[in-house]
Chain A
Amino acid sequence: MAAIWAVAELAGGRPTRLSLELATLARQLAQASGGTATVVAVGSGAAGAAKELAALGPRVIAVEAPTEGDRPAASVVAPRLAALAGEARPDVLLVSASPDGKDVAGFLSARLDLPVLVNAAGVRWADGGPVVQMSTFGGRLGTDSAFTHGRGIVLVRPGTVTAEPALAPGAVETADPAPSAELPPVRVVERVVQAGAAASIDDARVVVAGGRGVGGPEGFRIVEELADAFGGAVGGTRAVVDAGWLPYSQQIGQTGKIIKPALYVATGISGAIQHKVGMQTSGTIVAINRDPDAPIVEFADLVVVGDLFEIVPRLTAAVRARRG
């Protein structure tokens, strides 16, 4: 009888898309193990978010806690979770493989002395514990890993499962745990929202990305228009982020974000291993590149050999015409 917990991440009082996936995954693992699924949501508005999460099946524990700006800080979430999990001793804690999630996981692993399996691209139940599938070494190797002694924390990447409502919603309860040993003070002096923060690449179904081949910030206009035609988001390589053509929040790859959209369109991107790490598990990969020998050709589904400046604007028009 395994107890599977998922930690929901709240933004603006609502669960993130990844949190809904985690709740679904918790339910599936509970079914597979004959155990129970619980989601814990910490932050202001947790009770409201809990209803949305309960629709996916698990029991939800809502913990009202201060939220500065639109997101509760990991230093608020982690000590409360540590108190609840220290008491209930769940077998598995599913946590978002996001910046805040990693902060929470690192804290919990130290405080509860729990191991962590990172970067899960898939989780199944076998031999009394979770088996975590991940891709490593720039996609050259896929591994299955497990905890040596069953219990632990799993950092889950977006897209391992599709969020699906359950036939019967789970029960919602509230809790107000005394935070276990507080984290030392880190003061949020200010939350700065940068003008024109583009649609987030984390959750987008379609990501159109540009590389050095786009030529400059003006070149990104046509990339943006194509993304817009698809209703998607714009991403880029480290080369273009270093050049200041895109903010870091839109960088894809080893030192940027790891994303899994249904469609990834790479324009003027060579496909260096550090970039590949961030997008190789996308559903469909389309590459537009004038070099037929670029490394990306080896892991794309569709390669268009040609000048992006000729192809992208025409593709935008065709997509707009089709989507009406």
Chain B
Amino acid sequence: MRIVVLVKAVPIVGNERLGDGFRVDRGSGLEPNGNDEYVLEAALKLTEAHGGEVTLLTMGPAAAADALRKGLAMGATRAVHVSDEALAGSCARATAEVLAAALRRLEYDLAFAGADTSDGQGGIVAAAIAARLGLPYLSYAAHIEPGADGATVRVHRLSPAGYDVLEAPMPALVMGTQVLGEPRYPSLRGIMQARGKETLTWSLADLGIDPARVGAAAATTRVLTAAPPPPRAGATIIRDAPDVAVERIVDFLAARSLV
């Protein structure tokens, strides 16, 4: 089974900041997006159990290589890094177009994506890629298994009441959640081995995409203003013994008509 995992390199959570033109600063210190590590773990487990290989695919600046290295150390076979000066400031529309074009050049049975990203929090890029490629789209996966016939994939999709069991022919795109299970830490051996693994770097020219369609100048959305939210009024602090504390909580809630 050949699985391509879409991994976005995001700023370390808690350290994000906006740079020029209100764009997320991606100059350094990038890590694999948390949700993408879960689908990578699921991909590694599937190939360990059923044979096959895992290819990481990212679109991002030079610093995204750090995130790819971690994925390779976790056990991926190779990485594809789509990188081009012209991509800086791309919106979700352009991202989906570029990743779809990259997937067209790869051979795979399954493509995996995370539920959303910590920096963009969109949760839409994967669905847009599936629509562009005409791939069956199975989202919010809590469990992924190959069908008995080897030509289909089965997914448990989280639902408000439990889960739906979905089945589709391969190739298919599966978007997964944290319920798939904790990602592994790279082992020392994995870190050593990662150094010898192949990373392909593709430019927009390699993908046949006109640079005018992507990047900041072609962005379909723009940030108008950015400012820290007004601070919440400082909290009321109660340190009384439990009985008094509870009385004070109830008074506080009653004053706000919450009880």
Interface residues of A (CB under 8 A from B): 11, 69-71, 74-75, 99, 102-103, 105-107, 109-111, 113-119, 131, 135-149, 152, 155, 181, 183-194, 197, 200, 202, 206, 230, 238, 242, 248-249, 254-255, 262-263, 273-274, 283-284, 286-287, 292, 297-307, 310-311, 314-315, 318-319, 322-323
Contact = CB atoms under 8 A, between A and B. Distances in A.
A301 B258 CA distance: 13
Contact of B16 (A115, A137, A254, A307): A137
Interface of B is mostly: mixed
A263 B165 contact: no
Contacts of B228: 140-142
A319 B35 CA distance: 39
A193 B161 contact: yes
B135 A184 contact: yes
A102 B128 CA distance: 10
Interface string B8-28: 000001101110001000000
Interface string B165-206: 111110010000111001000000000000000000000000
A298 B228 CA distance: 15
A115 B91 contact: yes
A286 B249 contact: yes
Contact of A284 (B127, B179, B220, B258): B258
Contacts of A311: 242, 245-246, 249
Interface string B61-101: 00000000000000000000000000000011100100000
B131, B159, B165 — most chain A CB neighbours (10 Å)? B131
A177 B137 CA distance: 22
A258 to B, nearest CB: 9
A109 B14 contact: no
Nearest to B169: A185
A297 B235 contact: yes
Interface of B: 13-14, 16-18, 22, 34-35, 91-93, 96, 115, 118-132, 134-140, 142, 154, 156, 158-169, 172, 177-179, 182, 219-229, 232-233, 235-239, 242-243, 245-247, 249-250, 252-254, 256, 258-259
A147 B220 CA distance: 6
Q: List the 4 shortest-distance A-B pairs measured between CB atoms, nearest first.
A: A106-B127, A115-B220, A110-B131, A194-B162
A284 B34 contact: no
A110 B115 contact: no
B235 A301 contact: yes
Contacts of B125: 106
Contacts of A297: 235, 237
Given A138-B14, A192-B162, A186 B236 contact: no
Contacts of A303: 235-238
Contacts of B233: 301
Nearest to A149: B220
B134 to A, nearest CB: 6
Given A141-B226, A191-B165, A306-B238, 10 more contacts: A99-B140, A105-B127, A106-B125, A115-B220, A183-B136, A184-B136, A185-B136, A188-B164, A255-B177, A323-B259
